[in-house]
Amino acid sequence: MENADQAVLAATSVSWPPAPPADLRCQATLHTDTVFEPPAFQSLEEWEHRKVVLRQQVLIASGLWPVPERPPVSASFGRVHVFDGYSLQSVAFETRAGLWVTGNLYRPVAGRGLRPAILNPHGHWPDGRLEQSDRCNAPARCIQFARHGYIAFAWDMIGYGDNLGLPHRIGGGGDWLWGFHTFGLQLWNGLRTLDFIAGLPDVDPQRIGCVGESGGATQTLFLSAIDERIGYVAPVVMVSSHFQGGCVCENAPGLRIGTQNLEIAMMSAPRPMLVVSATGDWTANTPRVELPALQTLYGLYGAADRVHHHQVDAPHNFNQESREAVYTFFSHYFRGTAAGQWVREEVLDVPSGEQLTVFPSRRPPVVGADTLLRETHKKHWREVVAQHWPRSTAELLDFSDIVQPALRLALGQPPTEWSQLHIVSRGDVDFAQRRGTKLMLHHSDGSAVPALYVVPTPTSVGPNEAPVVLLSEAGKSAFFTSRDGIPALGPLVARLLARGHAVMLPDLFLTGEFERAFARLGRGNPSPHLLAFNPSDDALRVRDILLCAAATSKLTGSLTPRLVATGWSTPWAIAALPLLGEHSSLDAAWPVDGAISEKQMLEHCALPDILRIGGIETLLALAAPRRVRLYGKVPAPLLERVRAVYALHEQPQACTAIPGALSPDAPEQAGELV
């Protein structure tokens, strides 16, 4: 048997003896320290289109697409403490069950009328919004703002200060399938904080700014990117093309695929922006790299003079000089002082910890808060999917507009066309009067997919004989056998060829030849932020299916390929089908008896956000009206809901369940494939 297996492997492998496919996705992954080239745009129209795409990407990756309803904020206020030129008040409000915003509201005590407001998210200092050190004094800057006539609000990151109901690091594994993570929760808190500030009766909603340092600057950039109510933006020590933030609160699956902090900063254009950098951290190159790129982008609006910059000769910081640069920026726009007229920080006593604390005797519940929030999150998105599930033809487009972008981001924004596909022949192999060609399929994204292409006899494919892309999680060798040490076609592929179908058999990413060559080492970057910059392994397998379909069409003269999937390749094929032509089809083995569990999705089809948008059921609905036949024990409720969508396309019979097996060695169902 061992010799027979070796014979099959030798006959079906593109590289023999086994050698790693030259796939760049295995060799190089993007990460937080990758050096990116500054993006450049030729016209304002090009940039505005890109900006719309980016905003949607940020919202999807944040688990905020579509943006949930935001009723008026109901906040609890503490006692007002009055000091020299300003007042201080603690504030708390729940943004979801178990998710809190806790912070301090600083107001001027002199004068009346509408005031400018400044949001103050903080970085990863030990004391968060209460940090008082040489490198950062968070209360001091808010006091200065209030004494200058602005309303300032500083609030806690999750797991800091008074906001101890949740750990700071949330997300990973199954949570990512639901779009549940610290980054999204904090961005949601930021949106609700902006709602709170804009709703205060003494705030001028046309003059709202945001300033944050380090991780707080990341919050500043992304909050400003998705909500233009923030009209004045001051990210401190974070705008960099070669460092993107090292915490889970700054990264989420899909968030940075194809983009970086500099491009996110550009989304604030043409609103006034101050970029503060430091010589002793990753913003050391800002004056010669990021600043010119920002000025060029702002120049498309005729607003290059709205980009301001100050660099401090210091380590990573929000020290007094950096704070004074921020005071100078806001004073120019809010008080009308001359640009560059330096504003000094006054020396004042900071209130006591007891006066700054939001919950001196009671804090938000700690035990079980993350579990409560997680279940609330899942329940909410199940309701959203149910609410948007199409029940009329008019609702079909709206449903697709919501879930199709999320699917594309889960797959790492696959190409919409495959003109840069290259097919390289690596020789022929005979299988008992059937000849196969060993291929390596290349694309400009760095992929290199080993495949075997077998054609029926005669070698020409008729116009009604659709080619088949045949899939297994074990790779192409699963469809072959051996007889007395001689490799031979397995039952399923033999039946397809006998019926006149050309067959493409690939080794999808990290399967087949990949697996043997790499011994399941996968990709070389163990960073917890891998999925922020790169598609997941399963997403790359889905993309490989799209690549194989394009290659098959090219080889057969543009015939539309059909997918046939066995075992756990079925979820990958189902995810690929909505992105193929409307005449594509799928025959697939349902991989379990009954519903696919969340644990099984994580093990076999780990696509970020996939469960948040409805999982396999939504993918099948997106595939309508393409023909789908599922072999095995498909859950009746799932099939009923999907077929209801097919009925809206007037194709209710195009999605069916067929009893029995569909596997590489079970040919009895193969007749159904024709």
Per-residue pLDDT of 77-91, as tens digits, reads: 999 999 999 999 999
* Residue 426 token pair: 């690596």
Q: Tell me how many degrees the CA angle 611-616-622 measures, rounded to the nearest 5.
A: 105
Residue 663 lies in a domain: yes
The per-residue pLDDT for range 219-261, each reduced to its tens digit, is 999 999 999 999 999 999 999 999 999 999 999 999 999 999 9
**Boundary (domain end) residue, out of 297, 313, 347:** 347
CB contact at 8 A, 225 and 267: yes
Q: Are residues 246 and 185 in the same domain?
A: yes
Per-residue pLDDT at 592 exceeds 80: yes
Per-residue pLDDT at 554 exceeds 60: yes
d(CA 282, CA 242): 7
d(CA 315, CA 34): 21
Mean predicted confidence (pLDDT) in 19-48: 92
- Domain residue limits at 100: 68-347
Residue 78 is predicted with a pLDDT of 94
The per-residue pLDDT for range 408-461, each reduced to its tens digit, is 999 999 998 888 999 999 999 988 778 899 999 999 999 999 999 999 876 444
pLDDT bucket at 111, cuts 50 / 70 / 90: confident
The CATH number of residue 461's host domain is 3.40.50.1820
Q: Are residues 324 and 439 in the same domain?
A: no
Provide DSSP, 94-135.
EEETTEEEEEEEEEESS--S-EEEEEEE--S-TTGGG-BSSS
**Boundary (domain end) residue, out of 330, 347, 364:** 347
Residue 123 is predicted with a pLDDT of 97
Q: Are residues 429 and 334 in the same domain?
A: no
d(CA 621, CA 402): 13
Residue 400 lies in a domain: no
Q: Are residues 290 and 435 in the same domain?
A: no
Mean predicted confidence (pLDDT) in 121-128: 97
Q: What is the DSSP letter of 125?
A: -
Work out how many domains the chain is built from and give that number: 2
Q: Are residues 323 and 439 in the same domain?
A: no
Residue 550 is predicted with a pLDDT of 96
Residue 526 is predicted with a pLDDT of 61
Residue 3 is predicted with a pLDDT of 46
Q: Are residues 149 and 284 in the same domain?
A: yes
Residue 311 lies in a domain: yes
Residue 486 is predicted with a pLDDT of 87
3-state SS, residue 452: strand
Mean predicted confidence (pLDDT) in 158-180: 92
For residue 458, whether the previous peptide bond is cis, meaning omega lies within 30 degrees of 0, is yes
The label of the residue with tokens 């192999």 reads 429
Residue 2 is predicted with a pLDDT of 42
For residue 664, whether the previous peptide bond is cis, meaning omega lies within 30 degrees of 0, is no
Per-residue pLDDT at 521 exceeds 50: no
d(CA 504, CA 490): 14
Mean predicted confidence (pLDDT) in 14-38: 89
Sign of CA dihedral 281, 282, 283, 284: positive
Provide DSSP, 395-431.
HHHHHHHHHHHHHHHHTT---S--TT-EEEEEEEEEE
d(CA 265, CA 234): 10
Residues in Cβ contact with 371 at an 8 Å cutoff, skipping those fewer than 6 apart: none
* Residue 341 Cα distances to 127, 233, 331, angstroms: 32, 18, 9
Q: Are residues 313 and 443 in the same domain?
A: no
The per-residue pLDDT for range 279-328, each reduced to its tens digit, is 999 999 999 999 999 999 999 999 999 999 999 999 999 999 999 999 99
Q: Are residues 173 and 250 in the same domain?
A: yes
pLDDT bucket at 384, cuts 50 / 70 / 90: very high
Closest CA to 479 of 1, 20, 8, 21: 8
Residue 20 is predicted with a pLDDT of 82
Residue 361 is predicted with a pLDDT of 64
Furthest CA-CA distance within the chain? 96
* Residue 505 token pair: 């058999």
Q: Are residues 16 and 134 in the same domain?
A: no
Residue 377 lies in a domain: no
Residue 31 lies in a domain: no
Closest CA to 618 of 319, 385, 351: 385
Residue 368 is predicted with a pLDDT of 66
Residue 48 lies in a domain: no
Residue 4 is predicted with a pLDDT of 46
**Boundary (domain end) residue, out of 324, 347, 370:** 347
Residue 402 lies in a domain: no
d(CA 474, CA 604): 12
d(CA 442, CA 454): 19
Mean predicted confidence (pLDDT) in 109-124: 95
Residue 292 is predicted with a pLDDT of 98
Q: Are residues 317 and 451 in the same domain?
A: no
Residue 461 is predicted with a pLDDT of 46
Q: Are residues 420 and 319 in the same domain?
A: no
Q: Which of 230-234, 522-526, 663-667 has the lowest mean pLDDT?
A: 522-526
Q: Are residues 72 and 10 in the same domain?
A: no
pLDDT bucket at 664, cuts 50 / 70 / 90: confident
Residue 62 lies in a domain: no
Q: Which of 76-80, 455-459, 477-481, 596-600 has the lowest mean pLDDT?
A: 455-459
CB contact at 8 A, 586 and 560: no
Q: Report pTM.
A: 0.95
pLDDT bucket at 159, cuts 50 / 70 / 90: very high
pLDDT bucket at 673, cuts 50 / 70 / 90: low
* Residue 67 Cα distances to 59, 377, 402, angstroms: 7, 13, 11
Residue 132 is predicted with a pLDDT of 95
